[in-house]
A and B are shown apart, each in its own frame.
Chain A
Amino acid sequence: MASKPKVRYVAHFWLIAASILFFAPFLWMVSSSLKSEATIIPKTGQPPQWIPHVDKLDAQGRRCVIMNTGPFKGKSGVELEAQEESQHVIDFNGQTVKAWPEDFDVEQVIGFEWENYKTAFGMIDFTNNLRNTLFICVLCVIGTVFSCSTVAYSFARIPWKGRNVCFILVLATMMLPYQVTLIPLFAVYRSLGWVGTFKPLIVPAFFGVPFYIFLLRQFFMTIPQDMSAAARIDGCNEFGIFARIILPLSKPAMATTALFTFLFEWGDFLNPLIYLQDDRQYTLAVALQQFQSSHESAWGPLMAMSTVITIPIVVIFFLTQRTFIQGITMTGLKG
């Protein structure tokens, strides 16, 4: 529908307003991750600070301060000695005075505090957690793409007796809340000795995930049957048709499946929480939650960790935006 200019201006206004609201938390996260412990919580009466500031230092690395009381009120000096719980020695071009911390303000300049990232990496086993996450993600992607495409092929392109009943079963299990199978599965994995390993997180992916079976089936259905028939006349068997005709034509749907699986596993929380038992095994998501629960008010490092776990996802999203939006639309519309 072609809109009138007035309608478009109104739309722009609301879109910009909404964009600001949607984007603000991201900006706040990155901004907070670059603030020092002293500046992250604004002083009473101060507005939230979007651009991180750090203490202004002189050439020798001493803090620049401005007195707010006494004879040097309003003058800037350099802090020579700083002691907790006692007076600080401040130099004004050769003249020194002693002052309590409340007698002066430390000058602030725009600057980033990278310390939070070091702290966050130091507090969790980052390389291990990243390796675990990637390991699970990659194997789940392989398993899901492989198993779901073969199953979807069966449902979309081979007319066998009982196929429809089976497919309705796939749809029905999609509606099943995970809580119903959670406990018996735990009991099964426990008796197999799999608790405390990655197996419960990976193995099920190789046996088909209903959502992606559905997605791929819908896609396979759109490929003309004539192509299979022609290949069959040329002497191609079922597997040949699947591997040489259908799969190459279904790259967008396969890419969507791989992408969604990767993102889901990257952020998955409940399963790793239940099945992984020590911090060397944790995925990034679990490591972040554990870190949060033991350092509740370490907002700087927490925002740094959250930024680190979010950025790869954002990058992937920007690289694959088309696949993404098409994928979402595919699942929603043809449903």
Chain B
Amino acid sequence: MTRIERRNLRNGLLFASPYIIGFLAFTLYPLLMSVYYSFCQYNVISEPIWIGLDNFRELARDNDFWTALYNTLFYTVFSVPLSLAFSVALALLLNQKVKGMSVYRTVFFLPTIVPIVASSVLWLWVLNPEGGLVNGMLKQCIGLEGPGWLASPDWSKPSLVLMSLWSVGGAMVIFLAGLADVPTELYEVAELDGAGPWGKFLNVTLPMITLTILFNLVMGLINSFQYFTQVFVMTGGKGTPDNSTLVYALYLYQNSFVYLKMGYASAMAWMLFMVILGATVAVLISSKRWVHYHGE
């Protein structure tokens, strides 16, 4: 090792030391302990007791666990693709170089920065069956008696999906930047070939933003599997009515901080990790078929 290499190593480690220490203390150690706890009976107050695979066996028999997994999958399956479609649609509209573009962009982006607790309380009121905005407008505009939304076991999950569409602004901004990178020549060539607006969208725009779609899809998946705060606030941490909004992260929270079944909750955390990992890997593998890498 030369003198410069040695100096670089010393400086590099020195500058990176906050993260290296942080990684060991706040990530690696907890990670290893989490694996250990998932094989233990542990309530944080007394020492963990090794019970082997019992936590995982219990999970397989636990109806609430399957309900929570189902609820989270339901939310993910609807909210992630719909959010993608909405954010692409809004970005496309904004990309038409219309007047007042920055005003529209602000309006669409604003909901994403509202503290989640505040927006959850707000939506609880907007979707209130009596006196809420949505049912009031439904009644006034089309004379329709609105559903019970979050109070109804059938409508509670669609309500959550609806709410999630309010915060597509972040993805929209990223798509907007992606659209700006599409070379104009491609549209000109497409026009020469006689492509209409729809043809240009399918054959030029969509292929050119597949990488951005992939990024937003993976981020959307990871976030929606960890969906928690909204339901916690709106149901007082209970996942009501009839466990219809008991999402995975909420059930995990209940097990760890309400029932103090920390070992069981650790096992749940690792199952969640597997699900997220599986979904991400599946998307990445499939992306070889549909993502067009261009440039670089």
Contact = CB atoms under 8 A, between A and B. Distances in A.
A177 B11 CA distance: 31
A204 B114 contact: no
B233 interface: yes
Given A180-B269, A206-B18, A22 B110 contact: yes
Contacts of A193: none
Given A154-B12, A267-B116, A184 B225 contact: no
A186 B22 CA distance: 15
B269 A182 contact: yes
A188 B30 contact: yes
Given A238-B11, A314-B110, A177 B121 contact: no
B90 A303 contact: no
B133 interface: yes
Interface in B1-55: 5, 8-9, 11-16, 18-23, 25-27, 29-31, 33-34, 37, 44
Contacts of B133: 24-25, 28, 48
Nearest to B123: A25
Contacts of B286: none
B80 interface: no
Interface string A302-335: 1101100110011001100100110011001101
Which 10 pairs between the two chains have the least Cβ-Cβ distance? Answer: A207-B22, A160-B12, A267-B115, A332-B174, A154-B15, A41-B131, A48-B136, A184-B30, A208-B19, A184-B33
Interface of A: 1-3, 7-8, 11-12, 14-15, 18-19, 22-26, 28-29, 32, 40-42, 47-48, 147, 150-151, 153-155, 158-161, 163, 166, 169-170, 173, 175-188, 190, 204, 206-208, 213, 238, 242, 263, 266-267, 269-270, 273-274, 284-286, 288-289, 292-293, 299, 302-303, 305-306, 309-310, 313-314, 317-318, 321, 324-325, 328-329, 332-333, 335
Interface string B76-110: 00000000000000100111111100101111111
27 contacts: A2-B97, A3-B97, A12-B99, A19-B104, A23-B107, A25-B123, A25-B133, A28-B122, A158-B12, A184-B34, A187-B44, A187-B262, A207-B22, A208-B18, A267-B115, A269-B116, A273-B232, A274-B257, A288-B117, A288-B121, A292-B233, A310-B114, A314-B110, A328-B173, A328-B174, A329-B177, A332-B173
Contacts of A242: 15
B226 interface: yes
A161 B30 contact: no
A59 B111 CA distance: 42
Contact of A47 (B19, B140, B216, B256): B140
A144 B107 CA distance: 29
B236 interface: yes
B270 interface: yes
B12 A309 contact: no
Contacts of A317: 106, 109-110, 113
Given A8-B96, A166-B20, A208-B18, A184 B37 contact: yes
Contact of A176 (B5, B27, B111, B266): B27
A11 B93 contact: yes
